[in-house]
Structure 1
């Protein structure tokens, strides 16, 4: 549990987040503690993008959309995001900031990404400030577990985005420990590149690297740059290399995705 909490603090939690002894009952499913990724100082440490299953539609369209967006974020120079299931009917992408930024600016950044690359996704006007259910945790309505997942397993949860069993804390930590936060320079470059027409760019110097247009990104991601489906054997081998014994009982009833 200590390793998992350390990874969550490294990537997503503001400086004044609840201490480990308060976080642990939430992560163990003993209570539900929504947590804001913005601190009391008004600085945002991370952002979350939801991909919810559309009412009345079946299939994995929301998962495929997440894959496109995750690949797009890397094409424009941001590190790979974490992927999670909600315990209900949604997937989430998690973006980590190395240097916290004012919440209003983080909200504007998120909205610019949305407008350019995933305009169909609804974002609350306080999405950056609003408390979120940080995985792993129990969904208050379904009782199933929200959890970070290996991207290659995402399609397995298209019909039911939750686990019946608590995910092993070491396994959750393993999905996070290779991830990186993106720095102020990356933030400003993307923020300026996606500015609405006529809006002046941020005065800070940025790396001379262009951000591809949405249409070019869509074409580039058809091959699935990062989130190609991995086999169950690939995932088990990856976790075994970290001395972690995974439990995948929840996917055995879905052999079509093995």
Structure 2
């Protein structure tokens, strides 16, 4: 296994995945369908001015480790987030969408990619755009690769390399990166999940009245809310947690307008 493959596996693949062997989407997930890589992409065109707001914000405002920057070899730029523990794909998608809404809300959804995710409707797998960086294979002599953040603006109009990237250089770009602590991931997920999954959204869209609530779901919802509140309180009072993360937890605990 090359040093690049070893660094990639350390950051982005579940423990059971072998970065040197499989080129299938299954390499991204463990037996429980969980992932450790969360990739945010801006494409058609790649826009580093927009994506750099995320790159800076997650570090300066949220206190998270620096994400890797990549060109997808086709039409876009990517930020690669490493998760300390595997999480379900749906949670990774919700977390990425929270970043999108916070930093990229004005960009059309058609230009954004939240990866990895399975293909919809039998189309080309969305995994492919992340897999290209991992495998570093060319498309019409256009190579996908990790790049230094201070060079990202140079690739905005041509998000690819014309020559194969140096394996050692790619390893060096990943060697200093760290994974997002699971507590930090969960704190932001707890803050961002309610907006992504409003109750009875499907029923309201269909124009039919929502079903009458039953005691069991209400109890489960109350337990989940209490658990989320306890978690956020723990983060807020954890002196070892980044200050920005503690502030985010405190904001999430504030009552909304008209509450109380």
User: Do they fold alike, i.e. is TM over 0.5?
Assistant: yes
Deviation at 1:124? 6.2
The two structures, once aligned, show a CA RMSD in angstroms of 2.8
The worse-fitting range, judged by mean Cα deviation, of 110-119 and 182-191 is 110-119
Structure 1: unaligned runs, 5 residues or longer: 24-31, 55-59, 214-258
Against the structure 1 CA distance between its residues 38 and 121, is the aligned structure 2 distance closer, same or farther, given a 3 Å change threshold? farther
Deviation at 1:15? 2.6
- Alignment-derived partner of residue 12 in structure 2: 12
Among 82, 87, 97, the alignment partner of 2:73 is: 87
1:221-254 Cα deviation digits (max 9, x unpaired): xxxxxxxxxxxxxxxxxxxxxxxxxxxxxxxxxx
- Alignment-derived partner of residue 135 in structure 1: 134
Conserved? CA contact 1:80–1:179, under 8 Å: yes
Deviation at 1:33? 5.7
Alignment of 1:90-169 (within 5 A): 90-119=76-105, 120=107, 122=109, 127-129=116-118, 130-131=126-127, 132-133=130-131, 134-135=133-134, 137-140=136-139, 142-169=140-167
1:177-214 Cα deviation digits (max 9, x unpaired): 1100011110111122334468947255242112399x
1:35-61 Cα deviation digits (max 9, x unpaired): 65333321111111111134xxxxx7x
Conserved? CA contact 1:38–1:128, under 8 Å: no
| Bigger radius of gyration among the two | 2
Count of matched residue pairs:
197
Against the structure 1 CA distance between its residues 92 and 19, is the aligned structure 2 distance closer, same or farther, given a 3 Å change threshold? closer
Structure 2: unaligned runs, 5 residues or longer: 119-125, 200-224, 237-245, 252-260
Cα distance in 2, alignment partners of residues 124 and 151 from structure 1: 19
The worse-fitting range, judged by mean Cα deviation, of 33-42 and 68-77 is 33-42
SS in 2 for 1:92: strand
Cα distance in 2, alignment partners of residues 204 and 38 from structure 1: 30
> TM-score if structure 1 supplies the norm length?
0.67
SS in 1 for 2:159: coil
Cα distance in 2, alignment partners of residues 5 and 125 from structure 1: 23
Against the structure 1 CA distance between its residues 125 and 178, is the aligned structure 2 distance closer, same or farther, given a 3 Å change threshold? closer
Cα distance in 2, alignment partners of residues 40 and 202 from structure 1: 27
